[in-house]
Amino acid sequence: MSNSRKTTSPQWKPPAQNPSILYSQRTPSTNNSIATSPNGTSNGVRQTGFVEKLLHSYGFIQCNEREARVFFHFSEYSGNAEDMKIGDPVEFQLSCDRRSGKRIAISVIKVDPSVSSQEIFSEERFQGSIVQEAKPVKTKNGTVPGNQDGLGRVTYVHNGECFFIPYGLEDVKSDDGSLKLKAGDQVKFYIASDKRNGTLRARKVEEVGLPEPEKYQGVVCSMKENFGFIERSDVVKEIFFHYSEYKGDINELLLGDDVEFQIQSRTTVAHDQKSQCQGSVVTKSEGREVAVNISRLPEGTVIFEDVASERIKGKILKPLKTSNKGRQGDPLCGRIVYEDDGHQIEIPFGDKDQKGDFTLQLDDLVEFSIATDRRDGLQRATQIELLESSFEKSKEIREVGIVATLKDGYGFIQCADRDLRVFFHFSEALDPTHELKPQDEVEFTVVQDPSSPNKQIAVRIKALPKRTLSLTISSEKYIGTIDREPATHKSPGKNKEGESGNIIYDYEGTIQQIPYYLKDLIEPKNPPRYGDKIEFSIGESSRNSQKRAVNVKVVLRNVAGKCQGFIATLKDNYGFIENADHEKEVFFHFSSVENVPMEFNLGDEVEYTLAKKGAKLSAENIKKLPKGTVSPEEILWDKGTLQGKIVRPLRIVNPDQDDYSGLVQVGLDEDEEEVYPYGITSLADKRDFLQKGDVVKFQIATVKSTGKKRAVCVAAMRSYVRAKVDSVKGLYGFLNYEVEDGKKLFFHMTEVHDSIELQPGDEVEFVVVQNQRNAKYSACSLRKITDTRRPERLLSRLKSFTEETGPRVILIRPPQGPDVTPLFLPPSTPTSNFSFFKLDSLPCYSSFPPLSLSLSQTQPPGTWMTSGLV
């Protein structure tokens, strides 16, 4: 390769004939011809080269100035031939062998390498890194190894491009010759260009001392099976690490540990070959950064943020969701609002910013500090504490109790003011530094467990000083009356478990009230009932001076408190009783019935006692009474049978109304003002739920106990329709009768008369009613129509009966009304052989078809006979 070719190298252009680069010859030659004398001797021009090959008594020299190889004999060497080595620089003269005429070297002397050189060195010193190590190569037959034998490769960047260039072990510069370069070592070197062919090579390669790698700090934030992540302290970023990069036992590394590490970028390298003089070009693709050489630091070394010493008061604007703690997408999803210079400022917080892990609620008053992240300047609230004034402002109901039991991370608290043990978790302690122990006195709030709707738990637990819950019991005894019984877990209705009872007593002429609990009873197995007279003492809490009745015992049972009434409603496991005055109803649970509840029917007479648990009365100790025990009403016969319409149904028909009793209006005109109340016992058919606007027949009666008038024997004047049973599904079914958009009519088995079991295809007659709550239609008062018809011979015989030929019936005793008076009297004149009357004029029989009877008096007097059944 010519000199013009090698000077166009993209990485370097050596200046021609520059004395600082070119090694001058002692006697420069201007041409490549060899001047010799006619007798074969040299003309005195000396040339340079290096020993290429050594044999027993001769060798060969490679010329520097041209591609030529000349023979020389050891006798022409001016020094000791045994000290000569391959590669030694030499100076010589060219001559011709007289016998063969070939060129030979004579007057060979060893010279300094700077004098004899075939390469041009660059003025600039380059820096790169070793990518392939150089290896020693054994010579064969004393020859110099080839240019590529055992060579290593070094890479460097010039003008934005990456180049590779070879080097050998002889090119490594070392003081003692023991330096071994490895892949990745940083080096500096000169680039040498061969004057004969322009090839490039790294010369005088020296190792460069690498700067100390930069170290980073962070906190271990995630650990998986064999890798994890570190949150960096210099930027808001996480970095991956493998367990093999940790300097120590990986089992000792824990989440939250402070660590120090170095960052290494995993890159992908691709090689592109270029020309021989330019080397090869590499293309790098950036990979992800990973943490290497990880070591643990003392706790507290890594600091992400600066926490201000000033404490600020604020209010919870958005609490953390308890069910999603640790799984929320936004790590700072909570919000606190506070005032600064008259401005409302909102600041976020996370689940690790509380002093403890207790429950924070909306509008809680808190005190906190502001932390500023050093990496991005983000501010958040931290070191959050709940203020005592928060309970006073929010009117939160705080309770007190004693720690009953402690388990692994949880326990139970016995409430001091009610018979209730509540579950709690250790994380709900307001002071996380205080360790709760059994018998510790605590203050807490009882809330519904979000994971179990039927369970209550204690939250926001505060430890109290000892003897806070002690009671001071008075020596004076008091007499009072049970106004409300305390609720238990077996209490029916909506009473809360542990709700206190109430006692009414007279203190110095003033009626007072005081609560009590089941634990305050002397005989808990035989508790006092509503209306019982009791004796008690008063205990006063030393914590809040609250008083309650203690040492409660029964003095006199409320025997006179037994009540009577009628079964008004029956549901799945409860019902309602209409009192004897027919003015209101009282709730009862089947657990309070002495008999089997399913033996009850609507209108049955019962006896019961009242118990006040919570805010409402309920019936207990319910016992069924014989029919006629409860005093009946006195029917006003002079009023006769009236016709009217329902203006207000019973509450069992319309539960949204406040009054229990219904109202029936006399007459059908809208302007009629004469109305009478009615109840379940007023209905001729107890299963007939009369709707507003229904036309009815009824009578008027007077309640003996109150003297009030009410409607009785109320019967609907409805038109019955017929249809067949379409399907039966357990306790309900559907009739083949279309209502509202073609839907089949619903019915319940309890509406079937005589408890007949209906089957699909049976024909029934019924009344269509509309539910006032949901506006849906249903069938009531169902009667199965028998398929058996009278024989035609009997029907024709009945039609042939007359008053004279009809069968005679002897009347033994005339029928009596509800007031034990005869329903009808004999004719006033003995000349009357018979008289006619209709049963629809009799009370409670208006719903039957007209029936005429013929009465005649026979002997003896007072004996009547009916005839002429029509």
| pLDDT beyond 70 at 856 | no
Q: Please compute the mean of the pLDDT values over residues 454-479 and round it to a whole number.
A: 84
The size of the chain, in residues, is 870
Q: Which residues pair with 619 in a beta bridge?
A: 588, 610
In a domain, 40, yes or no: yes
Q: Please compute the mean of the pLDDT values over residues 414-441 and round it to a whole number.
A: 86
Confidence of residue 23 (pLDDT cuts 50, 70, 90): very low
User: How far is CA 438 from its chain centroid?
Assistant: 32
| pLDDT beyond 80 at 634 | no
pLDDT in tens, 351-400: 888 888 888 888 899 999 999 998 888 999 999 998 888 888 877 888 88
In a domain, 197, yes or no: yes
pLDDT of residue 853: 44
In a domain, 118, yes or no: no
What is the rounded distance in angstroms from the CA atom of residue 418 to the CA atom of residue 420?
6
pLDDT in tens, 728-783: 988 889 998 888 777 888 998 878 887 788 889 899 988 888 776 677 888 888 88
Q: Which residues pair with 867 in a beta bridge?
A: 854
C-alpha radius of gyration, the chain, whole number: 58
What is the rounded distance in angstroms from the CA atom of residue 735 to the CA atom of residue 727?
7
Using the 3D structure, point to which of 716, 734, 762 is the last residue of a domain: 716
Q: Are residues 489 and 443 in the same domain?
A: no
Say how many Å lie between the first and final Cα of the chain, rounded: 146
Q: Are residues 821 and 849 in the same domain?
A: yes
pLDDT of residue 857: 41
What is the rounded distance in angstroms from the CA atom of residue 432 to the CA atom of residue 357?
8
In a domain, 2, yes or no: no
| pLDDT beyond 50 at 57 | yes
pLDDT of residue 796: 59
* CB of 186 closer than 8 Å to CB of 124: no
Q: Are residues 224 and 187 in the same domain?
A: no
pLDDT in tens, 103-139: 899 999 988 776 666 777 888 889 899 998 888 866 5
Q: Please compute the mean of the pLDDT values over residues 59-64 and round it to a whole number.
A: 86
| pLDDT beyond 60 at 490 | no
The DSSP H or E segment spanning 6 is helix 3-6
Q: Computed from CA positions of residues 341, 343, 348, 353, in that sequence, does the dihedral angle turn out positive or negative?
A: positive
Q: Residue 115, Cβ neighbours under 10 Å: how many?
A: 14
Instruction: Give me 371's structure tokens.
Output: 């932390």
What is the rounded distance in angstroms from the CA atom of residue 157 to the CA atom of residue 201?
15
* CB of 737 closer than 8 Å to CB of 779: yes
Q: Are residues 550 and 565 in the same domain?
A: no
CATH code where residue 243 lies: 2.40.50.140
Q: How far is CA 314 from CA 321, 337, 338, 350, 734, in A?
A: 19, 6, 4, 15, 63
| pLDDT beyond 90 at 228 | yes
Instruction: Give me 575's structure tokens.
Output: 């019902």
Q: Computed from CA positions of residues 47, 48, 52, 57, in that sequence, does the dihedral angle turn out positive or negative?
A: positive
What is the rounded distance in angstroms from the CA atom of residue 66 to the CA atom of residue 103?
14
Q: How far is CA 75 from CA 56, 85, 231, 428, 818, in A?
A: 12, 16, 77, 104, 166
Return the half-sphere exposure (C-beta side, CA atoms, 13 A cut-off) of residue 858: 12
Q: Are residues 752 and 818 in the same domain?
A: no
Torsion of CA 504, 506, 510, 513, to 10 degrees: -20
Q: Are residues 565 and 553 in the same domain?
A: no
pLDDT in tens, 173-204: 877 667 788 888 889 998 888 776 778 888 88
Q: Please compute the mean of the pLDDT values over residues 785-796 and round it to a whole number.
A: 60
Please give the single-letter amino acid code of residue 419. D
pLDDT in tens, 685-710: 777 778 788 888 888 888 877 778 88
Choice between 612 and 58, residue whose per-residue pLDDT is larger: 58
Instruction: Give me 531's structure tokens.
Output: 């209306």
| pLDDT beyond 80 at 606 | yes
Choice between 582 and 286, residue whose per-residue pLDDT is larger: 582
Highest mean pLDDT among 384-393, 497-506, 837-846: 384-393
Q: How far is CA 105 from CA 56, 60, 511, in A?
A: 17, 9, 143
Please tell me the total count of domains within the chain.
Answer: 10
Confidence of residue 411 (pLDDT cuts 50, 70, 90): very high
In a domain, 629, yes or no: no
Q: Computed from CA positions of residues 302, 304, 309, 315, in that sequence, does the dihedral angle turn out positive or negative?
A: negative
Q: Are residues 374 and 426 in the same domain?
A: no
pLDDT of residue 580: 78
* CB of 372 closer than 8 Å to CB of 385: no
User: pTM for the full model?
Assistant: 0.41
Q: Are residues 595 and 615 in the same domain?
A: yes
pLDDT of residue 381: 93
Confidence of residue 584 (pLDDT cuts 50, 70, 90): confident
pLDDT of residue 794: 59
Using the 3D structure, point to which of 244, 273, 296 is the last residue of a domain: 296
pLDDT above 90: percentage of residues in the chain: 14
Return the half-sphere exposure (C-beta side, CA atoms, 13 A cut-off) of residue 641: 17
| Residue 794 CB partners (closer than 8 Å, separation 6+) | none
Please give the single-letter amino acid code of residue 750. T
In a domain, 275, yes or no: yes
Instruction: Give me 522's structure tokens.
Output: 């002397």
3-state secondary structure of 496: coil
Tracing tokens 């039966």 back to the chain, one arrives at: 728
In a domain, 535, yes or no: yes
Task: Tell me how many degrees the CA angle 398-403-409 measures, rounded to the nearest 5.
Answer: 105
In a domain, 6, yes or no: no
Q: Are residues 231 and 265 in the same domain?
A: yes
Which residue range is the domain that position 608 belongs to? Answer: 560-624
Average pLDDT of the chain to the nearest whole number: 77
| pLDDT beyond 80 at 645 | yes
pLDDT of residue 24: 33
| pLDDT beyond 60 at 869 | no
pLDDT of residue 144: 46
pLDDT of residue 855: 44
Using the 3D structure, point to which of 296, 317, 344 is the last residue of a domain: 296
Please give the single-letter amino acid code of residue 489. H
pLDDT above 70: percentage of residues in the chain: 76
| pLDDT beyond 50 at 33 | no
pLDDT in tens, 313-361: 999 998 887 654 544 567 788 999 999 888 999 999 988 888 888 888 8
* CB of 481 closer than 8 Å to CB of 504: yes
